[in-house]
Structure 1
Amino acid sequence: MTFEDLRIVPPILKALKAQGYTSPTPIQAQSIPILLRGKDLLGCAQTGTGKTAAFSIPVLQNIYLDQQNPPRKKGFRKIKALIVTPTRELAIQIGENFTAYARYTHIKNTVIFGGVKQGNQTQALKKGVDVLVATPGRLLDLMQQGFISLKHIEYFVLDEADHMLDMGFIHDIRKIIAKIPEKRQSLFFSATMPPAIVNLSQKILGDYDSVTIKPEQATAERVEQAVYFVSKSDKRKLLLHLLQSEPAQSVLVFSRTKFGADKIVRWLKKSDIKSAAIHGNKSQGARQRTLKEFKSGKIDVLVATDIAARGIDVDELSLVINYDLPNVSETYVHRIGRTGRASASGIALSFCDKDERTYLRDIEKLIKQDINVIEEHPYVEVVTDASPKKTHKPQGARSNRNKRSGSNKNFKHKKRNNYKKHRSSPSRKKG
């Protein structure tokens, strides 16, 4: 299937070709026809599946066709589409995509978010825009100041809804929904669908269709994964050992906390490794400069928290390292997807201390596969106490597990020469 098959209008099709897009991803192929028919959409998909194009292309096409019939009159532009997303980085990324796809149309967009002075944002709003991309806090603030009216909204997109809830934006979202017209097309995207998200979607959507893209297995299969058993105190030594023994460009390291991210960077800089941290305590200007330097190659290692990593879109990301394993299994999938975006493959390594082994078992249960264990490294953690038994596998699976691990004995990473000294052994030791 191609974008021509989806009946995209010529100006947007031309812009997609300029971006190098020819064939839609699964979520695009399924979502775009639904949205072009005018129906609401409930989408379950993670970042990296092409979700932004899945909603921005049809929104732009619908606005474009509205402007053609009847032709748009000159004058102040009223906001027709509102996209609400949880983080500044995601808002900026979505805005850039709208600009790229609308390149050969007269549709204008702007992005507003907190953490910076509002002057440039309000100036853009005064000139008039068709599409507004916003984070909840700054949106409500500028609405209260009278810079924004949502009376003419025809298309409403709530992106990364589960992270909206995680970040405490649920009340802000309800206030925003109360201000937009009931007659509208609504798009609701979330990577997971817990009860609270389902309940929220029912309050936003009208007559809707659902699209669910399950990237967990697909992503896990594309990304070559391995885990190192290491004590918490030795994690930074292992990180430094890996980065120095087999240097790689564009390494994204995930830390559970902001303090931890800064601590990792200080440790790496002492060893002359070009690195920087990105998290919520950094100013917007600092975050944008860091991302730009990382994308341009001036920084080799970016250490990020999960929330701050939303919106990081780096081509040919060499490696993702889970310095801390996440306690939410789905978060692991989002993380490793950073190096296996769309149809690309990638490499993901994880550090696991004795307190995180439960998280590892939950992750393996979610992705329905065993992660290779690299036992030959200088900082192997030896657990003397018997580790808890796995609860998600039948008791007879142990012998099969050993056979599977044996089949992965020659585990290698995407770059054949990278990490060649660290291969998994025939079986996982029980601790």
Structure 2
Amino acid sequence: MQENSTKTPVGVKFTDLGLSEPLLKAVAGQGYETPTPIQAEAIPAVLAGRDVMAAAQTGTGKTAGFTLPLLHLLTEDRPLPRFSGHRPVRCLIVTPTRELAAQVEESVKTYGGHLPLRTAVVFGGVNIKPQINKLRHGVDILVATPGRLLDLYGQGAVRFDKLEALVLDEADRMLDMGFIHDIKKILAVLPKRRQNLMFSATFSEEIRELARGLVNDPIEISVSPRNTTVDTVSQLVYPVDKGRKTDLLTHLIVEEQWYQALVFTRTKHGANRLAQKLEKSGIGAIAIHGNKSQNARTRALADFKAGKTQILVATDIAARGLDINDLPHVVNFDLPNVPEDYVHRIGRTGRAGKEGQALSLVCAEESRMLRDIEKLIRKSVERRTVSGFEPLEELNVAHPGPKMGGGRPGGRPGGRPGGGGRRRSGNRNSRPQGGGNRQRRNNY
């Protein structure tokens, strides 16, 4: 396995990477000249036909890191074959959530706008018939969530005998125990000869070992230390009793005049309950999670991006892949059961070199989770206690950092005014939530 871990060479531009003119035109149309580190490393590797395992934090441009070279290969090095019938799927991109699937397809359409390729996205939670009809007309690139993909394959709506490339996006989630059975079923129906690309923000050692069995002599790319957080995100822990988390969150939103924040809860019920309590306090909030319809989730996200909703409360599975420009605050109302999800969560802010703030409201019973997170990211997160919200039970973790007498967190990102999800099987803190694999397939 070849491993790369370098920074973008000084002066490298997209025009130096070997991409076709139509792709360079599309990139320039988006205002980009210089590739991000993950793009500078991944694009040449993919163009060379190599399998790739790439670890890059959210917000580093990893989606373009695989869409651009694959679009090039499908039109230049592997020209469009002449078929008498409909076009077969030549590239399959699998993502864990509907939102991420939609965003990846949008990226493919944006960069492939000057190319004669057909693209489709399929996911659960919506009528399957329009998806079947589109596939019958033929697509070159298919973006899909695993459950709906298997449903379509089972109905004979899609075939993969001409598949040339497979992408697993957010590979750590895709290969986690919650999705591994679906992924194995998908892999079993794909041709053995194909290019395999795995992109993710994090790769735990267990997942990395599993991934090595799915890729062939891959180039491994890491543009930052594994499982670390970006420097542009300031991280704070607020020790607080469990029953006072909502009051503390409300206090911070009001006192700091937050105009926008993404808040994570551990469960769907918790997301609904928190959003309702914030609404009763006069704070515009809405919850998104796997039980919400696709239309409801799309509307909620659109309202949040447009500034119509102040607080978006989400579970991990619903928020994966959300791309929100200039998001100033991410709040862990509940710490995640899986430490790697902390990295994914706070990666929603501080994107593209901009400053952001990640706050965690931590009660004593979450001390072990906090220790696991700090072990993963290899740093201790500063603690701050807000006057009037001092916890009765201290965290069982060593905690550097000052107390706050005035109850105001410092460092508003950007100089502007302030402004959980599916539990994985095998985790000692988790319990299966109703529906199991069948429910997940219906949603994703």
C-alpha deviation, 1:329, in angstroms: 2.6
2:121 maps to 1:111: yes
Report the secondary structure of 1:21's partner residue: coil
Q: Please show how residues 206-285 of structure 1 align to structure 2 within 5 Å.
A: 206-214=216-224, 219-285=229-295
Match of 1:36 among 47, 53, 61: 47
C-alpha deviation, 1:418, in angstroms: 4.2
In structure 2, C-alpha distance between the alignment counterparts of 1:269 and 1:217, rounded to whole Å: 35
Asked whether the equivalents of residues 150 and 179 of structure 1 are also in contact (C-alpha less than 8 Å), the reply is yes
Q: 1:415 to 1:200 in 2, by over 3 A?
A: closer
Q: 1:279 to 1:215 in 2, by over 3 A?
A: farther
Q: Please show how residues 156-175 of structure 1 align to structure 2 within 5 Å.
A: 156-166=166-176, 168-175=178-185
Report the secondary structure of 2:234's partner residue: strand
In structure 2, C-alpha distance between the alignment counterparts of 1:256 and 1:172, rounded to whole Å: 23
Name the counterpart of 2:68. Answer: 57
C-alpha deviation, 1:72, in angstroms: 5.3
Name the counterpart of 2:412. Answer: 413
Asked whether the equivalents of residues 257 and 418 of structure 2 are also in contact (C-alpha less than 8 Å), the reply is no
**How far does the alpha carbon of each residue in 1:63-114 deviate from its partner, in whole angstroms, 9 at most, with x for none?**
011465x785686222110011111111111101000010111111100011
Report the secondary structure of 1:115's partner residue: coil
Asked whether the equivalents of residues 104 and 143 of structure 2 are also in contact (C-alpha less than 8 Å), the reply is yes
Q: 1:300 to 1:216 in 2, by over 3 A?
A: farther
**Alpha carbon RMSD of aligned pairs, Å?**
2.5
Asked whether the equivalents of residues 320 and 344 of structure 2 are also in contact (C-alpha less than 8 Å), the reply is no
In structure 1, C-alpha distance between the alignment counterparts of 2:15 and 2:209, rounded to whole Å: 36
Q: 1:101 to 1:128 in 2, by over 3 A?
A: same
Q: Please show how residues 49-128 of structure 1 align to structure 2 within 5 Å.
A: 49-66=60-77, 68=79, 76-128=86-138
Asked whether the equivalents of residues 3 and 24 of structure 1 are also in contact (C-alpha less than 8 Å), the reply is yes
Q: 1:37 to 1:323 in 2, by over 3 A?
A: same
C-alpha deviation, 1:123, in angstroms: 1.9
Q: Please show how residues 352-367 of structure 1 align to structure 2 within 5 Å.
A: 352-367=362-377
Could you tell me which amino acid in structure 1 is paired with residue 296 of structure 2? A
Name the counterpart of 1:394. Answer: none
C-alpha deviation, 1:317, in angstroms: 0.6
Name the counterpart of 2:326. Answer: 316
Asked whether the equivalents of residues 119 and 141 of structure 2 are also in contact (C-alpha less than 8 Å), the reply is yes
Which range moves more in the overlay, 163-172 or 100-109? Answer: 163-172
C-alpha deviation, 1:253, in angstroms: 0.3
Q: 1:382 to 1:140 in 2, by over 3 A?
A: same
Asked whether the equivalents of residues 175 and 183 of structure 2 are also in contact (C-alpha less than 8 Å), the reply is no
Asked whether the equivalents of residues 225 and 349 of structure 1 are also in contact (C-alpha less than 8 Å), the reply is yes
Name the counterpart of 1:10. Answer: 21
Unaligned 5+ runs, structure 1:
391-397, 421-431
Q: 1:161 to 1:71 in 2, by over 3 A?
A: closer
Asked whether the equivalents of residues 57 and 229 of structure 2 are also in contact (C-alpha less than 8 Å), the reply is no
Name the counterpart of 1:423. Answer: none
Could you tell me which amino acid in structure 1 is paired with residue 330 of structure 2? V
Name the counterpart of 1:337. Answer: 347
Q: 1:280 to 1:402 in 2, by over 3 A?
A: closer
Q: Which of the pair has the greater relative contact order for Cα pairs under 8 Å at 6+ separation?
A: 2
Greater helix fraction, Structure 1 or Structure 2: 1
C-alpha deviation, 1:272, in angstroms: 2.2
Q: 1:227 to 1:180 in 2, by over 3 A?
A: same
Q: 1:188 to 1:241 in 2, by over 3 A?
A: same
Report the secondary structure of 2:352's partner residue: coil
Could you tell me which amino acid in structure 1 is paired with residue 24 of structure 2? L
Asked whether the equivalents of residues 220 and 367 of structure 1 are also in contact (C-alpha less than 8 Å), the reply is no
Which range moves more in the overlay, 260-269 or 74-83? Answer: 74-83
Report the secondary structure of 1:156's partner residue: strand
In structure 2, C-alpha distance between the alignment counterparts of 1:129 and 1:46, rounded to whole Å: 30
Asked whether the equivalents of residues 94 and 133 of structure 1 are also in contact (C-alpha less than 8 Å), the reply is yes
Which range moves more in the overlay, 252-261 or 411-420? Answer: 411-420
Name the counterpart of 1:348. Answer: 358
Could you tell me which amino acid in structure 2 is paired with residue 3 of structure 1? F
In structure 2, C-alpha distance between the alignment counterparts of 1:187 and 1:47, rounded to whole Å: 17
Asked whether the equivalents of residues 216 and 333 of structure 1 are also in contact (C-alpha less than 8 Å), the reply is no
Could you tell me which amino acid in structure 2 is paired with residue 18 of structure 1? G
Q: 1:264 to 1:341 in 2, by over 3 A?
A: same
Name the counterpart of 1:21. Answer: 32
2:389 maps to 1:379: yes
C-alpha deviation, 1:145, in angstroms: 1.0
Instruction: Return the TM-score normalized by structure 2.
Output: 0.84
Q: 1:32 to 1:417 in 2, by over 3 A?
A: closer
Q: 1:337 to 1:194 in 2, by over 3 A?
A: closer
C-alpha deviation, 1:125, in angstroms: 0.9
Which range moves more in the overlay, 108-117 or 154-163? Answer: 154-163
Asked whether the equivalents of residues 220 and 333 of structure 1 are also in contact (C-alpha less than 8 Å), the reply is no
Q: Greater Rg, structure 1 or structure 2?
A: 1
**How far does the alpha carbon of each residue in 1:146-173 deviate from its partner, in whole angstroms, 9 at most, with x for none?**
1100000001111222212446221221
Could you tell me which amino acid in structure 2 is paired with residue 6 of structure 1? L
In structure 2, C-alpha distance between the alignment counterparts of 1:318 and 1:98, rounded to whole Å: 27
Could you tell me which amino acid in structure 1 is paired with residue 235 of structure 2? Q
In structure 2, C-alpha distance between the alignment counterparts of 1:351 and 1:40, rounded to whole Å: 40
Q: Kindly tell me the number of residue pairs found equivalent between the two proteins.
A: 404
Report the secondary structure of 2:213's partner residue: helix
Could you tell me which amino acid in structure 2 is paired with residue 25 of structure 1? T
